[in-house]
Amino acid sequence: MAPILIINLAIIVYLIMACCFFNEWLVFFLADEEMDSDQRLFSIVILVIATILWPIVVPFAYLELLKFHKKHKNVIDFIIHQRKVGTHKD
């Protein structure tokens, strides 16, 4: 009984996460107004594949994000520092 419950719970978590990722990624793709119809169709296909394979895609995307942050750490820190200096209390 317990293994079936664990498998069902894993499937439910997988489907909930897939739905969340699909919604976020769909909003991101729809916001890009510079794509033509062929690019948009290709993007939707990639979106569906990435949603199905999210347990593989998300960790690699996170690693790319970390690599980007390491590469541009000085610029990111500068921008964050400028925002803190530029804000003031009324």
Q: What is the model's pLDDT at position 43?
A: 87
Q: How many residues does the chain have?
A: 90
Tens of each residue's pLDDT in the chain, 90 residues: 788 999 999 999 999 998 998 898 888 888 888 888 898 889 889 889 988 988 888 899 889 999 999 999 998 888 888 877 766 554
Question: CB-based contacts of 50: which residues, under 8 Å, 6+ apart?
Answer: 21, 25, 57
pLDDT at 44: 87
The pTM score is 0.60
Q: Residues 35-53: pLDDT tens digits? A: 888 988 898 898 899 889 8
For residue 83, give the DSSP letter. Answer: H
Dihedral of alpha carbons 31, 35, 40, 42, sign: negative
Distances (CA, A) of 67 to 22, 24, 43, 60, 81: 24, 22, 24, 11, 21
The answer to whether 68 and 46 have CB atoms below 8 angstroms apart is: no
Q: Which sequence spans correspond to the domains of the chain?
A: 1-52, 54-90
pLDDT reported for residue 88: 57
